[in-house]
Every structure is written in structure tokens, then in C-alpha cells.
Amino acid sequence: MSLISKFALDQGMNQHVLVVYRHAIDTLVIAPFSIVLDRKIRPKMSLSIFIKILILGLLELEKVNIRRFHSQAKILGTIVTVGGAMLMTLIKGRRGPNQIAYLSIQLRLNQSKIRLKVLS
């Protein structure tokens, strides 16, 4: 796998894209073994277990007492933050360096037009 990775990086593949591909391939290779060999060992995945795993993953394995206001605020803040980031990404898309430079140039042009109108 390291030879393939080296070749892909030398050809110009982004390192972040390579990591995603490697994880996807690893999952496809390992998941069937896990499903077949651990079928009778692992418990059934219920909705409550799934939600607990999701919350623990989002809160970085912190202890949460749902009755305390501090913990409720932490959970709400995590949900709002992650949800807002996902929403902004879905609506506006990811801003790359070229887009940011373009927007700053447009902003400068608009500011110079406003100055010209004020001065004339």
C-alpha cells in the first residue's frame, strides 16, 4: 500500500484525498470479515445504542450527566456547531483560496467605486 501511496502522491494526488481513499478501501476490505466472524459475538445495534455512540463521539468521550445544565449546554452547543457547519457547507460550499482571493478583490473594487461616488 505504501508503494501505491507514494506513486499517487508523486502523480499529484492531494494527500487528504489519498487518506479518504485509503480509509474507504480499508473499510471495504475489513468490514466483511467483521460482519461474518463477529456476527454472534456483538450485540444488536439498537437506536439507543447508536445515539449513545454518536453523542460520545461528538463529545470526545467526555462524561455527560444529562440532568446537569452544564452537560445539556455542552450537548446543545455540539449539535448547533456541527449542524451549522454542515448547513453552511451544504448551502455555500467550501471556500477555497482562489474564491477567497476573488471575493477580497471584488470587495476592494466595490469600496473604490463607493469612494469615487463620494468624491464626485
Domain spans of the chain? 1-42
pTM > 0.85: yes or no: no
Contact 108, 116 (CB under 8 A): no
- Residues 25/32, Cβ–Cβ less than 8 Å: no
Is-contact 82 58, C-beta < 8 A? yes
Q: What is the pLDDT along the chain (120 residues), one digit of tens a residue?
A: 678 888 888 888 888 888 888 888 888 888 888 777 777 776 677 888 778 877 777 666 667 788 888 888 888 888 888 788 777 767 766 555 556 566 666 666 666 655 555 555
Q: Which residue has the cell 448547533?
A: 80
